[in-house]
Each structure stands twice: as C-alpha cells, then as structure tokens.
Amino acid sequence: MTTSGATHYGVLGVAASVSAHELKRAYRRMQRTSHPDTGGSAEQFRIVQDAWAALGTPDRRAAYDRALSAGSAHHSAAEPRVGPTSQTSRTPTRPSTAEERPRARRADSQGHPGGSFRLKYRDLMLVWLVNPTPPSPPVPWVPARTARGRFLRQGLRLGAQMTTSFAAVGAGLVLFLAWRQGHLVEGIAAIWMPLLLVAGFGGFAGAISSVPVSVLRMRRDSYRRELIRYAKEKAATFAAAQADFRRAQRAFEIDLRARPSNTAPLLAAPYSEDAVRVAPPSIRVWLDRAMAQENTARELASVGPRFSIWHDVELGAGHTRFDHLVVAPQGLIVIESMAEAGPVTVEHDSLRHGGRAVLDVRDTLRPRLAEVGKTLGIGGASATLLVYADSALLQTRLQQLGGGAMPTFVVGASHLAAALVQGLPGVDEGATWQLDRLRATVAERVRFA
C-alpha cells in the first residue's frame, strides 16, 4: 500500500473533496490491500476500518469534515500510517496485491471479493453489541375488505331480487284469482288486505330462500374458491413463520446470554478472534460467506490473462447479486462461493449435506441466471460453478450435477483454477470476437455490490 496521511482521507488515499462513490471505491481498494490475507497486517486493516467508520455515511463524513476544519481532528496524526513507511507495516515476503504480481500469469480481476458481506457482518455485529434487537413476530394475513364486501354485495343484491320477485308473483296471483271470481268490479279496496298479505308472505319467502341460494352461488363462484385457496396458503405460510419466529426467539435468548457484558473491545475490533467467537450464527454466516468469496478469489487469480473476473457484483434493476462472473474461453461462467460446512457429496442431480438431501441449488440460481441474459443481452451463462472449501467436500475434483438444462459443476477450491484452465466438460469454446464483445458488455453493465 502506498497511501499515507494524517487524516482518514489520507488513510484511504483520497482528497477530502472526492465524491461518495470515489470514496467507497478507495475504501474497498485499501481494505483489499490491507487485509492480512493479501499481504497487509491486522493493524493496517484496523486503521482502514476506522477511517471508513468515520467517513462511511454522509452524516459521519460531514461531522468529521467540520471537526477537521476546526482543527479538532489533529489527533489522527498520532495514528500509524497505512503504508510502507508505517512502523506497523512489514516487508512482505511475497507480492501483496494482484497488481504487484507478474501480469503474464494473472487474470484481469476487478471488484472486492467479500467486501459487501464483511460490511454486512460488521454492521450487524455493531447493532448486536450496542442494542440487540429481538426477532419480530409474524403478522397474520387478513382478507382484504374488498373481498368480503364483494360477497356481501352479491348476497344483498340476490336477496332484494328474490324478495321483490316473490312479492310480485304473490300479488299477481291474488289479482288473477280476484279477476276470475269477479271481485275486481267492486274495486281494488275489496281485495287490498289479501293482496298485502300474499305479497308480504311472498317477499318473506323470497328473502328466506335467497340465503341458501346465495350460499350455493358463492360456493360455485371461482373467485371465492381462489380466495379460499389463497387463504389456506397464507395460513400455512403464517404457521411456518410462527415456527421460525419461535426458533429465532430461542436462538436470540441463547445468543443474548452468551453476549459479553464488556462490549467495548469487541466494538473496537469486530473482526477480532474474540468478536468472531461470540458472534451469533445468524451474523457469523455473513463473515463466512465473505471468507468463502475471498478464498475463491485467491484461487481465481492464477487462471491466466485469458480470463476476466468480476467479484461481488450486481446485475439488473433488481440488484441481482453474483459472487463472481468470469469471462473465460468457454464464455461467461457464473461462480458461487459456498460457505456451508461439510461433508458435502454429489449424488446424480442433487447435493447432500451430511447424507441429507438439500434444496436443489439450481432452483435458487435459475431466476438469477435468467437476469444474466436479460441484462447483458446475450444468450446467458455457459455454465455455473459451485465452489466449496476442500474440507467440505468428500470429492474435491470437478463433479457435474445432472438433470439441469445448464451445466452445473461442483468443485473444491484447490481444483478451481485447473478446472477453468483445462476447460469444463461439455461446454464449447467461443470465438475470439464473441469473447471480446462479451467482455466489453459485462464491463459496461455490471455494478459492484
């Protein structure tokens, strides 16, 4: 690292006037180069994290700028600089960044692997240490008022129609009988009492009869049947959410009991071994995913200059996320870093964790892979690679999951580079002009997470 300076801006190697976007890019670059796994040190990494904590949001940055202009930020001069001149830095025995290593042997790599997941872990960890929030109970589904009102209006309309119809029929029958018997010549006043009685009884009979008829009509109504089916699905979903809530509540109580009373050291170093050890599993999983991405990125760095790699990216208006996108001689390869622990085995078209079949990962990948073709305007990805740590797989060499339309492979991290360089079985290579066009399209439309 080559940045120096007495302020947090100097630590990140930028001027105080840079935009928020450039500041975030500088932070990711310095975070990557200061990480102990890439030749930095824990102290350098901590200083970069402190700088970002002071500048990461507009409010914090504005407060820091005010303090800096007032001269109250001069204490930063006492902090060790992040660079070769720092007393805490060490001379690496190997090149610390991809740029310092021989270009002829390395791939063109962009992005910060695991960066967004590390930030997610840090933010959740700080919230848990400062103000742990219990899980929220699920909200039961309530049918819309419009649905209930629709059935009520239908029933009232049918009741009014049958009441008037039955009353009219009764009144008509009385008039017909009176006419046949010659009572109409005496005037309507002579039959008004029977007329009202029969019409009233007819209307009452119509109203009573409309109730079962309305119920039968509702039962045969397709809208009502669909609403009942939807309500049952919502009830099942709510029951599952309640079960998940109870489990989350029990886990929260266990995590809360394990939370240390003195959280100040952990707040200062959320990535320390002590902090990671006491982190709840729901928070630790984000760090595990970040480390899985970082491990995959280290293996991808050696595939050679024919490959172009983008780490931790998003595509489309829905911000569909991908761990790694690789433009290889065989086209666009989507690589997902899997953080699950083993033992993981491949049996025909399914993955098994500890001998238990798990959800088909292709079902979760399918809508995301559709976004590739939609956003990039190409035929889509050529293949998908699921990369596990070697310790998680019983067979670390390349294995193919059968039964899918797109070739999907499982491989251990140590065999990833060899699998890409040698070529994935059953995947054709693209022409040079096609790969150049694909590379330019990905570079233009991809966004870093």
Q: What is the CATH number of the domain that holds 28?
A: 1.10.287.110
Are both 419 and 295 inside the same structural domain? yes
pLDDT at 291: 93
Does residue 129 belong to any structural domain of this protein?
no
Does residue 256 belong to any structural domain of this protein?
no
Strand (E) or helix (H) holding 335? strand 331-337
pLDDT at 52: 81
Are both 285 and 362 inside the same structural domain? yes
Q: How far apart (Å, rounded) are the C-alpha atoms in residues 392 and 340? A: 7
pLDDT at 103: 42
Does residue 263 belong to any structural domain of this protein?
no
Does residue 276 belong to any structural domain of this protein?
no
Are both 309 and 406 inside the same structural domain? yes
The 3-state DSSP class for residue 321 equals strand
Q: For the chain, what is the domain count?
A: 3
Are both 73 and 176 inside the same structural domain? no
Are both 338 and 404 inside the same structural domain? yes
Are both 164 and 44 inside the same structural domain? no
Q: Which residue has the tokens 């967004």?
A: 116
CA angle 128, 324, 374 (to 5 degrees): 105
Residue 130 CB partners (closer than 8 Å, separation 6+)? 263, 267
pLDDT at 85: 33
Last residue in a domain, options 82, 104, 125: 82
Are both 71 and 161 inside the same structural domain? no
Does residue 446 belong to any structural domain of this protein?
yes
Are both 224 and 293 inside the same structural domain? no
pLDDT at 336: 92
pTM of the predicted structure, to 2 decimals? 0.58
Q: How far apart (Å, rounded) are the C-alpha atoms in residues 413 and 420? A: 12
Are both 170 and 301 inside the same structural domain? no
Are both 301 and 449 inside the same structural domain? yes
Q: How far apart (Å, rounded) are the C-alpha atoms in residues 248 and 257? A: 14
Does residue 271 belong to any structural domain of this protein?
no
Last residue in a domain, options 218, 233, 248: 233
Are both 292 and 217 inside the same structural domain? no
Are both 322 and 228 inside the same structural domain? no
AA identity, residue 384: T
Q: Which residues of 369-401 are buried (b: 16+ CB within 10 A; e: fewer)?
A: bebbeebbebeebbbbbbbbbeebbeebebbbb
Last residue in a domain, options 43, 62, 82: 82
Does residue 207 belong to any structural domain of this protein?
yes
Task: Walk along the chain (449 residues) in steps of 10 and give the mean pLDDT of each run.
Answer: 60 86 85 71 76 80 73 39 34 38 62 90 88 86 63 75 82 76 66 77 79 71 69 87 90 85 85 88 91 92 88 84 91 89 76 66 75 78 89 85 78 91 86 83 85
Q: How far from 66 is each of 2, 252, 341, CA to CA, in Å?
A: 27, 39, 47
The range of the structural domain enclosing residue 156 comes to: 145-233
Q: How far apart (Å, rounded) are the C-alpha atoms in residues 272 and 44? A: 13
pLDDT at 219: 64
Separate counts of helices (H) and strands (E) for the chain: 14, 11
CB atoms within 10 A of CB 107: 21
Does residue 183 belong to any structural domain of this protein?
yes
Structural contact between residues 340 and 288, judged by C-beta atoms closer than 8 angstroms: no
